Amino acid sequence: MSDEYKMTATTTAPVIEPGHTFASVTDKISSIVLTRPASNGWFLGFGIAFLATMMLLYAIGYLFIRGVGIWGITIPIGWGFAIVNFVWWIGIGHAGTLISAILLLLRQSWRNSINRFAEAMTLFAVSCAGLFPLLHVGRPWLAYWLFPYPSTMGVWPQFRSPLMWDVFAVSTYATISLLFWFMGLIPDFGTLRDRATNPWIRLVYGMLAMGWRGSARHWHRYETAYLLLAGLATPLVLSVHTVVSFDFAVGIVPGWHTTIFPPYFVAGAIYSGFAMVLMLAIPIRKIYGLEDFITSRHLQNSAKVMLATGLIVAYGYGIEAFMGWYSGESYDAFLLWNRLHGPYAPWYWSLLACNIFIPQLLWIRKLRTSPLALFLISFVILIGMWLERFIIVVVSLSRDFLNSSWGQYYPTRWDWMTYFGTIGMFLAAMFLFCRLLPMISIFEMRTLLPQAEGKAAEAAE
Partner 1 sequence: MNDHKQSGDVCPSKRGKLNLDSVRAEIDKANGPEYWRSLEELAGNPEFQEALHREFPKGASEWVESVSRRGFLKVMGASMALAGMTGCVKLPLEPIIPYVRQPEDVIPGRPMFYASALTLGGYASPVIVESHLGRPTKIEGNPQHPASLGGTDIFAQASLLTMYDPDRSQSVTEMGDLRSWQSFVSAMRGPLNVQKALQGAGIRILTPTISSPALADQMRAFLKAYPQAKWHVWEPVNRDNVLEGAKLAFGQPVETRYDFSMADVIVSLDADFLYAGFPGNIRYIRDFAARRNPDGNMNRLYVIESGMSSTGAKADHRWGKRASEIQALARQLAENQFLNPPVGAKGIIGDIPGIAGPIVLDLNSHRGSSVVVAGDHQSPVVHALVHKINAALGNVGKTVFYTDPVDANPVNQTESIKELTADINSGKVDLLIILGGNPAYDAPADLDFANVLKSDKVPLRVHVGLYNNETAELCQWHVNQAHELETWGDARAYDGTVSIIQPLIAPLYNGKSALEFVSLLAAQENASGHDLVRDYWQKQHSGADFEQFWRNSLHDGWIEGTAFAPKSLQAKSENFSPAPTADPSAIEINIRRDPTIYDGQFSNNGWLQELPKPMNKLTWDNAIQLGPKMAERLQIASKDVLELEFNGKTVKGAAWIQAGLPDNSITVTLGYGRTRAGRVGTGYGFNAYQLRTSAALWGATGVQIRKTGDTYNLASVQGMQSMDTPDGGHRPLVRETTLTEYRKDPNFAFDEEASPTPGLSLYKPYDYKDEAYAWGMAIDLNKCVGCNNCMLACQSENNIAVVGKEQTEIGRHMHWIRVDAYYQGDRDNPKAFFQPVPCMQCEDAPCELVCPVGATNHSSEGLNDMVYNRCVGTRYCSNNCPYKVRRFNFFLFQDWTTPQYKMMRNPDVSVRSRGVMEKCTYCIQRITEHRIDAETASVRKEIKIKDGELQTACQQSCPANAIVFGNINDPESQVSKLKAKSLNYSLLGDLGTRPRTTYLAEVRNPNPELES
CA distance linking residue 215 with residue 184, whole number of Å: 16
Question: First-to-last CA distance in the chain?
Answer: 21
Radius of gyration of the CA atoms of the chain, in A:
23
Answer for which of 16, 56, 68, 99 binds partner 1 (CB under 8 A) is 68
Binding mask 95-134 for partner 1 (x = CB under 8 A): ----------------------------------------
**Smallest gap, in angstroms, from Cβ of residue 396 to partner 1?**
9
Query: Residue 251 interacts with partner 1 (CB under 8 A)?
Result: yes
Answer for which of 261, 334, 344, 414 binds partner 1 (CB under 8 A) is 334
Query: Quick one: which of 276, 282, 269 has its CA closest to 378?
Result: 276
Answer for which of 6, 36, 66, 286 binds partner 1 (CB under 8 A) is 66
Q: Judge if the upstream peptide bond of residue 76 is cis by omega within 30 degrees of 0.
A: yes
Query: Residue 342 interacts with partner 1 (CB under 8 A)?
Result: yes
CA distance linking residue 15 with residue 449, whole number of Å: 9
Answer for which of 157, 214, 263, 371 binds partner 1 (CB under 8 A) is 157
Query: Residue 252 interacts with partner 1 (CB under 8 A)?
Result: yes
Query: Residue 158 interacts with partner 1 (CB under 8 A)?
Result: yes
Answer for which of 263, 371, 407, 411 binds partner 1 (CB under 8 A) is 407
Query: Residue 403 interacts with partner 1 (CB under 8 A)?
Result: yes
Query: Which 295-324 residues touch partner 1, going by CB under 8 A?
Result: none
Q: 191 or 338, CB closer to partner 1? A: 338
Give the C-alpha distances (Å, rounded to integers) separating 393 from 124, 169, 411, 413: 23, 20, 13, 19
Task: Please give the full DSSP string across 272-298, using - where no structure is assigned.
Answer: HHHHHHHHHHHHHHHHTT-TTTS-HHH
The residue range among 286-294, 345-353, 377-385, 396-404 that interacts with partner 1, by the rule CB under 8 A, is: 396-404
CA distance linking residue 286 with residue 302, whole number of Å: 17
Query: Residue 29 interacts with partner 1 (CB under 8 A)?
Result: no
Query: Quick one: which of 240, 214, 248, 270 has its CA closest to 400?
Result: 248
Q: 64 or 357, CB closer to partner 1? A: 64
Query: Quick one: which of 448, 20, 443, 449 has its CA closest to 209?
Result: 443
Query: Residue 152 interacts with partner 1 (CB under 8 A)?
Result: no
Q: Please name the residue ranges forming H helices in 67-114.
A: 81-97, 103-105
CA distance linking residue 118 with residue 135, whole number of Å: 26
The residue range among 120-128, 234-242, 359-367, 392-400 that interacts with partner 1, by the rule CB under 8 A, is: 392-400
The phi-psi region of residue 259 (left if phi > 0; otherwise alpha if psi is between -120 and 50; otherwise beta) is: alpha
Query: Residue 72 interacts with partner 1 (CB under 8 A)?
Result: yes
- Tell me whether residue 189 is exposed, middle or buried, using C-beta atoms within 10 angstroms of its C-beta: 0 to 12, 13 to 18, 19 or more: buried
Query: Residue 150 interacts with partner 1 (CB under 8 A)?
Result: no
Answer for which of 1, 178, 253, 423 binds partner 1 (CB under 8 A) is 253
Query: Residue 138 interacts with partner 1 (CB under 8 A)?
Result: yes
Answer for which of 109, 161, 172, 239 binds partner 1 (CB under 8 A) is 161
The residue range among 42-50, 63-71, 203-211, 295-303 that interacts with partner 1, by the rule CB under 8 A, is: 63-71
CA distance linking residue 405 with residue 12, whole number of Å: 57
Give the C-alpha distances (Å, rounded to integers) separating 38 from 93, 193, 297: 27, 20, 29
Estimate the crossing angle of helix 162-195 against helix 22-34, to 10 degrees.
110
Q: 271 or 390, CB closer to partner 1? A: 390
Answer for which of 6, 8, 35, 69 binds partner 1 (CB under 8 A) is 69
What are the residues binding partner 1 (CB under 8 A)? 66-69, 72-79, 136-139, 142-143, 145-146, 155-158, 160-164, 167, 247, 250-253, 330, 333-334, 337-338, 341-342, 397, 399-407, 410
